[in-house]
Amino acid sequence: MPYPTDRKYTKEHEWIQVSGNSATVGITDYAQQSLGDIVFVETPKVGAELTVGKTFGTVESVKAVSDLFAPATGTVTEVNAALATSPENVNKDAHGAWMVKLSLKNPSELDGLLSAADYEKFVAEEAGH
Amino acid sequence: MGAKMVEFNGWDMPVEYPAAIGCGIINEHLAVRNGVGIFDVSHMGDIRLAGPQALAAVQHISMNDASRLAIGQAQYSALLYPEGTFVDDVIVHRLAEDDYLLVINAGTREKDFSWVRDNTRQFDCAAENLSDDFTQIAIQGPKAVNLLQKLTDADLSAVKFYWVTRGTLCGLPNTLMGRTGYTAEDGFEIYIPADEATSARVWYEILAAGKEFGVIPCGLGARNTLRLEGKLPLYGHEISDTINVWEAALDRFCKMEKPEFIGRAALEKAKAAGVKRTLVGLEMTERGIARDGCKVLDSSGREIGYVTSGSPAPFLKKNIALAYVPPEFAAVGAGVKVEIRGQGVGAVVVPTPFYRRPKKTA
């Protein structure tokens, strides 16, 4: 699975796609594969304030529970309501099934995140262990 | 096969097989409910008790009544500590006149073997640990019998649930095949020589023969969700060395009319004293998934018990759990809460097993 180059990635396996001052956040294909069948996605409400590096939600597969970590600080402007009833969309298309949209407080926070190529290298190493 | 592996009690075990070959816990679970799936369960242990006093030895260490077993028949039972709590649960097979096979759990097999050996010394019979001699494969689901029949000369339709037979299987003579399992579905467990070449050959022959029935390999993940829907206990969860038979609600496998077995005296006292907690089935009524170890709360938020196993149930499409609660909260329909990430989430006590396989009409 190629990782889209139009966004950045975290070592906690979230992706973030920025457009001006706003951003869209989801989890990576590697994350959905590791989790297996996803059955539950819990996201914050519109208006919630996220802090970079802090948990903002939960993804659960049949077997595992995994926290979502905010890739940037900002305010939630929209949540993907479809995931409440069709969480399996994340398995089908992790890079399309976004979880929240944010209004960014400090876009320079993203400078430290991974490019698609670096993330691919990172997960190849992680999978090797 | 590209499976996701996990270390389980010192064994490298597949949790689930890849989505790319049609697997994943949900697909694996549904294959067993609707068709057939196969599991490598070689981690299970096997202890043989044979000799003139083998029956007396089994009767001493097992809570069920092995004197009721005909040759070729098997029964669910448990090995108990003197306190009436669990060493392990076990399937006792009677293979011949004075020859019994106990199939036990992976995590406890060394402990179990020592326990069996030490507690059967006074009987004229030999305890033998055969755990490393066999590869055990479980073929489970309504189509399991059709699949396995293609590979053996034994008449499997004549084998009733919890009975065993022997026959040539994949060219291996005198192979033991039991109509048993841990999925709450019809199926067989077979015992073949443990060498890697034979094990791999049989595994792939079963997959090939099962193609027409849609067979897929299944891992520990589906094994757990299947057994949970059927309320089959898992050691360290529903049963353990601190939980007794009455609490675990396994009364019907415990034959108190037997004059003696290890744990009997303590169980008699425990029964007279009454149970302080009991195992119940829960179904979540609010959004959330109860997981192993979650606290159970009453409506006022007071802690009353804990979840032993909790998961989404792929066939029932509900979030279910088994939990220990005091008897006053155990009535079907009683409302409780399960603490999930600090929040009390609504659940209700429901009848168990959650899933019961449909009776055969043919």
Per-residue pLDDT of chain B (362 residues; tens, 9 = 90+): 667 777 766 667 788 998 888 889 999 999 999 999 999 998 899 999 999 999 999 999 999 999 999 999 999 999 999 999 999 999 999 999 999 999 998 778 889 999 999 999 999 999 999 999 999 999 999 999 999 999 999 999 999 999 999 999 999 999 999 999 999 999 999 999 999 999 999 999 999 999 999 999 999 999 999 999 999 999 999 999 999 999 999 999 999 999 999 999 999 999 999 999 999 999 999 999 999 999 999 999 999 999 999 999 999 999 999 999 999 999 999 999 999 999 999 999 999 999 999 886 54
Per-residue DSSP letter, B209? H
Q: Give the integer Cα–Cα distance in Å for A47 and A52.
A: 16
Dist. CA B77–CA B136, nearest whole Å: 19
Chosen from B25, B29, B228, B307 to mutate, greatest number of chain A CBs within 10 A: B25
- Does the beta-carbon distance from B225 to A62 stay under 8 Å? yes
Supply the pLDDT for residue B213.
Answer: 98
How far from the centroid of its chain's Cα atoms is residue A26's Cα?
A: 3
Q: State yes or no: cis peptide before B358, omega within 30 of 0.
A: no
pLDDT classification of A129: cutoffs 50, 70, 90: low
- Give the global pTM: 0.94
Q: Which domain holds residue B342?
A: 276-350
Rounded to the nearest angstrom, the minimum Cα separation between B345 and chain A is 14
Assess if residue B341 is contained within a domain: yes
- Residue B341 touches chain A, beta carbons under 8 Å: yes
Interchain proximity B16–A65, CB inside 8 Å: no
Alpha-carbon distances of B298 from A63, B59, B222, B336, B350, rounded to whole Å? 26, 41, 31, 5, 16
Distances in Å between the Cα of B113 and the Cα atoms of B47, B106, B255, B333, B340 are 7, 11, 23, 42, 38
Same domain, B312 and B203: no
For the record, the structure tokens of B45 come out as 């242990």
Q: Is residue B175 part of a domain?
A: yes
Instruction: Please give the pLDDT value at position A1.
Output: 63
- Alpha carbon distance B218, A66 (integer Å): 23
- Which of B211, B229, B247 is at the close of a domain? B229
Kindly determine whether residue A63 and residue B314, on different chains, have CB atoms separated by under 8 Å. no
Portion 13-42 of B in contact with A at CB < 8 A:
15-16, 19, 24-26
Q: How large a percentage of chain A has pLDDT more than 90? A: 94
Contacts of B16 in chain A (CB under 8 A): 36, 63
Q: How many structural domains is chain B composed of?
A: 3
CATH code for the domain of B207: 3.30.1360.120
SS3 B241: coil
A62 and B312 within 8 Å at the Cβ level: the answer is yes
Looking at the structure, do residues B159 and B92 belong to the same domain, yes or no? no
Residues of B in contact with A36 (CB under 8 A): 4, 15-16, 19, 24-25, 221
Separation in Å, CA of A21 to nearest CA in chain B: 32
Amino acid at B102: L
Say which CATH number the domain at B82 has. 3.30.70.1400
DSSP-derived letter for residue A48 is P
- Average pLDDT across chain A, whole number: 95
A96, burial (CB in 10 Å: exposed 0-12, middle 13-18, buried 19+): exposed
Q: Does B6 touch chain A (CB under 8 A)?
A: no
Question: Are residues B74 and B198 located together in one domain of the fold?
Answer: no
Does a structural domain hold residue B269?
no
β-pairing verdict for B37-40 and B216-218: parallel
CATH code of the domain containing B286: 2.40.30.110
**Same domain, residue pair B51 and B116:** yes
Q: Would you tell me how many other CB atoms lie within 10 Å of the CB of residue B97?
A: 10
| Domain end marker among B72, B104, B129 | B129
Contact (Cβ atoms closer than 8 angstroms) between residue A57 and residue A68: yes
> How many Å from the N-terminal Cα to the C-terminal Cα in chain B?
36
**Which whole-number Å values give the CA distances from B299 to A64, B50, B286, B328, B345, in the listed order?**
27, 54, 14, 13, 10
Residue carrying structure tokens 């415990």: B254
Candidates 3.30.1490.190, 2.40.50.100, 3.40.50.300, 3.40.50.12780; CATH matching A16-104: 2.40.50.100
Residues B254, B256, B259, B260: is their CA dihedral positive or negative? positive
**CA angle, corner B4, sides to A129 and B5, nearest 5?**
70
Q: Is A55 on the interface with B (CB under 8 A)?
A: no
